[in-house]
Amino acid sequence: MGSLFDGIGGFPLAAIHNGIVPVWASEIEAFPIEVTRLRFPDMVHVGDITKLDGAKLPPVDIICGGSPCQDLSVAGNRAGLSGARSGLFMEQVRLVKEMRNAERLRNRTALDIRPRFMVWENVPGAFSSGTPKGEDFRIVLEEIVRIKVGGVSVPRPDTGRWESAGRIILGTDFSLAWRCIDAQYWGVPQRRKRIFLVADFAGRSAGQILFDQESLPGYPAPSP
């Protein structure tokens, strides 16, 4: 697994608990890097995401990233994906494209091209950020779909409002799903809602990963 916008290593920690090896991470702040060097001594730090070449990164099966949320959050200035911080999401897309293109040049089969999975995490404000309202989340979906199928357009929902969970399936070899999850029901003593998005570039497992109850043990929400 490769972890972008790594912070103090939330994704690598979750990976280890699920039998996944965190191979490398991208982070620019000195203190978080020191924390993760202590906690994950075998994980390589590759530096600033804006200076990385995906074709030169060690191939991994999963790319995870929670791009900066300040421009998407309802508590921020709502500059959206055009903001300098939240716009770094496009760097995540660029790296995944470069990594997958490099794998194609190595003549790997479609099923074996890495990364197969992409995970994106962000604030629920992404559902309403942009003009018209919610346009930024539509762009997020569209850019990820285009990693697999260039030129595809993702429409806005008929209601004009994004649901807290959904999925996109294209044929048998691409799926994407998102779900807004509240940390208080997953063993964390705080109310903290976050969007988790999973893309499977070689199959239809994204929905299973996010919605299958066996793969998401936690604490049930209280009855109404």
Which residues are the active-site residues? 69
Distance CA 130, CA 82 (A): 9
Cis peptide before 115 (omega within 30 of 0): yes
Distance CA 58, CA 99 (A): 9
Helical H segments across 115-203, by residue range: 135-148
Amino acid at position 21, single letter: V
Distance CA 210, CA 198 (A): 7
Tell which residue, 56, 65, 150, has the closest CA to residue 98.
Answer: 56
Q: Which residue's structure tokens are 């595809």?
A: 152
CB 67 within 8 A of CB 126: no
